[in-house]
Amino acid sequence: MADPSSRAGTRYSNPELLAWVDALHHPLDAALSRAFDAPAQGLPAIQVGRAEGALLGLLLRLQGARKVVELGTLAGFSALYIARALGPEGHLWTVEMNPLHARVARENIQLAGLSERVTVCEGAALERLPELEPHGPFDAVFLDADKGNYDRYGQWAARNLRPGGLLLGDNAYLFGDLLGDAPEASKMRRFHQELSNDFNAVCVPTPDGLVVAVKKS
């Protein structure tokens, strides 16, 4: 990021360029391909991008994460990147509200040979989260569930991450509506604002905006 155009948000990527970079740096093996191809399994195509999935895994490896919570499993694409980064001693608890999505995710995780490392918790995140607290404190929390509760998810993460723990939040631009009047927008803005109390945060300008924040000691 350097010149005024890029600072204003202009992107120099295009589909052909992205495909070349993805193929080189973010290759998909059979398990990742299956999870990424969620629409073929009857699911919406709303999973994180290939670069974001790979970035999650890379950040968790850098951190040496062992215990992670994910909100919003979908078909398990990001869960595969997370679980692989944790190693055999680690565990991921991933919460999914939609029973079909949860079933497809479990299948994809099983086909990847990661069932022992991942628990797919079915239900609304705000109802499931209290059950996970005894497993904490956690090394990282990844938010990718319903956007109208990000403020409450962020508060939960602040209470249940260890000092130095990572809070990662996809869709931090709220699909372009972050500064809008919708109730979801005010909740997402509160999520951003409250981060500054307990975290050192960066909002990485991925296409959707990705918050990467470290809990203060």
Write out the residues near Mg ion by the rule CB under 5 A. 144, 170-171
Rounded least distance, CB 216 to Mg ion, Å: 26
Rounded least distance, CB 217 to Mg ion, Å: 29
Q: Is 7 or 182 the residue whose CB approaches Mg ion more closely?
A: 182
- DSSP letters of 117-176? GEEEEES-HHHHHHHHGGG-SEEEEEE-S-GGGHHHHHHHHHHHEEEEEEEEES-TTGGG
- Phi, psi (degrees; rounded to nearest 5) at 137: -70, 155
Residue nearest to Mg ion as judged by C-beta position: 170
Rg, Å, the chain Cα set: 17
Rounded least distance, CB 128 to Mg ion, Å: 18
Rounded least distance, CB 89 to Mg ion, Å: 28
Q: Is 94 or 171 the residue whose CB approaches Mg ion more closely?
A: 171
Q: Is 115 or 126 the residue whose CB approaches Mg ion more closely?
A: 126
Q: Is 52 or 139 the residue whose CB approaches Mg ion more closely?
A: 52
- Phi, psi (degrees; rounded to nearest 5) at 117: -100, -10
Q: Residue 38, CB half-sphere, CA atoms under 13 Å: how many?
A: 21
Rounded least distance, CB 87 to Mg ion, Å: 25
Q: Is 38 or 118 the residue whose CB approaches Mg ion more closely?
A: 38
Q: Is 53 or 165 the residue whose CB approaches Mg ion more closely?
A: 53
- Say how many C-beta atoms besides its own lie within 10 A of residue 86's C-beta: 23
Rounded least distance, CB 53 to Mg ion, Å: 11
Measured CA to CA, the distance from residue 6 to residue 21 in angstroms comes to 19
Measured CA to CA, the distance from residue 8 to residue 82 in angstroms comes to 32
Question: What does the DSSP 8-state code read for residue 48?
Answer: P
